[in-house]
Amino acid sequence: MKWIKKNKFTCIAILLFVLITVVGYKAMKVFFPDTKSAIYGDRLDNKVEVKKKVYETLKTKISELEYVKSVNIRESGRIIYITVLVNDSTSMDSAKAVATMITEPFSEIQLGYYDFQLFVKKEDSKENNFPISAYKHHNRSEFVWVKERDKTE
């Protein structure tokens, strides 16, 4: 006890250092989460797999349309993103027809698990009513189109 009274400033400094270290460590855990864990947490447990062949089949089927230039498909978590580049002369109705064939290669289990996001774009920037996009939730059977923009000159 005599030593503590004699070195009270040293004891306070050591105690403050330990306290600041513990609080700093807790704050670091809050603001910088563990990067080793999955980015989606446990939301992707029991994930339904989609084989590459299904994506290739879909890509081929969409590419066969005469007004389609390219198709890009990527999966991120529980969402499948499909980007379709169409010719500049393609009408809005023709571009929307792509959505009708997207769900065909997928099984019912896959359709019940994944959401789909469709983007239809043109290269020409003068076509200001494009890109158009649609979304299909895994509980829904049809795509919902985002509000269309009128073409302006």
Lowest-pLDDT range of 31-35, 95-99, 118-122, 135-139: 31-35
pLDDT tens sequence across 22-32:
999 988 888 87
Q: Is 75 helix (H, G, I), strand (E, B) or coil?
A: strand
With 70 as the cut, is the pLDDT of residue 13 above it?
Answer: yes
With 90 as the cut, is the pLDDT of residue 144 above it?
Answer: no
Question: Which strand (E) or helix (H) includes residue 9?
Answer: helix 8-31
The band of 77, judged by pLDDT with boundaries at 50, 70 and 90, is: confident
> CA nearest 67: which of 83, 82, 89?
89
With 90 as the cut, is the pLDDT of residue 81 above it?
Answer: yes
State the pLDDT at residue 153: 60
pTM across the whole model:
0.69
With 90 as the cut, is the pLDDT of residue 101 above it?
Answer: no
With 70 as the cut, is the pLDDT of residue 148 above it?
Answer: no
Distance, in Å, from the CA atom of 9 to the CA atom of 3, rounded to the nearest integer, reads: 11
Give Rg (Cα) of the chain. 27
Q: Of 2-6, 24-28, 98-102, which has the strongest mean pLDDT?
A: 24-28
Distance, in Å, from the CA atom of 59 to the CA atom of 54, rounded to the nearest integer, reads: 9
Residue type, 91: S
CB of 48 within 8 A of CB of 84? no
